[in-house]
Amino acid sequence: MLNLVIFGPPGAGKGTQSQKLIDQYQLVHISTGDLFRAHIQNKTELGQQVSQLIADGNLVPDSITIAMLEEEVKKNPVAKGFIFDGFPRTVAQAEALDAFLESVNTSISVVIALDVNESELTARIAKRQEISGRADDAADKLVKRIDEYFQKTIHVLPYYEAQGKLSKVNGIGEIDAIYAELTAIVDKY
Ligand code: ADP
């Protein structure tokens, strides 16, 4: 199995690059952000639980996020592999993901971290908000999301680096040029 984590701060291009990767490698794309937004849209109990947290730019608690992720993996028993996008966002999530994958006899192949500086992220999301209308893309909420990233999520990098699974890619430039760097990494697996 080929299991990728596509990692990076809000606005790094995880979703854009994941979309291209799934087309080429026939992987199942699991975006926790997309899953939460679908729950909110469908007004599920989970959606109601998390909508305010997300709108305010906070992370959703690990227990909720991990349970949702595992359920989604289990829905795809014949998958060739997965792209995890927006997950793990905490070290506890990374540990839970490792344990869960081990229980189904697989593991993370590689973690690709998209590196983008803060001023570029802010500019990209301001532009995206005009189209997406996402409440959490508003400038004041974005500050909170970037803060959450630097407080909690960034620690996931050394976790995977210690496992020798981390590959960093410059996330600034042409989408296709960045994608070419990603495929060069993925093809090794
Ligand atoms: P972006 O990558 O642009 O920040 P996402 O769509 O990945 O956006 O996530 C949107 C929001 O959903 C996050 O700000 C957070 O509130 C919630 N979320 C998504 N994934 C996770 C996760 N793994 N753990 C906790 N919260 C999450």
The parent domain of residue 17 ranges over 2-186
39 within ligand 1 shell (Cβ under 6 A): no
CA 86–ligand 1 middle distance (angstroms): 6
pLDDT in tens, 97-125: 999 999 999 999 999 999 999 999 999 99
Give the pLDDT band of residue 133 (cuts 50, 70, 90): confident
Which residues, in sequence order, are CB contacts of 93 under 8 Å at separation 6+? 62, 65, 66, 69, 87, 156
Average pLDDT of span 149-156: 96
pLDDT in tens, 27-74: 999 999 999 999 999 999 999 999 999 999 999 999 999 999 999 999
The answer to whether the annotation marks 42 as part of a ligand binding site is: no
The answer to whether the annotation marks 124 as part of a ligand binding site is: no
What is the tally of structural domains in the chain?
Answer: 1
CA 136–ligand 1 middle distance (angstroms): 10
The model's pTM: 0.94
- CATH number of the domain that residue 39 is part of: 3.40.50.300
8 within ligand 1 shell (Cβ under 6 A): no
Give the pLDDT band of residue 134 (cuts 50, 70, 90): confident
Backbone angles phi, psi at 78, to 5 degrees: -105, 15
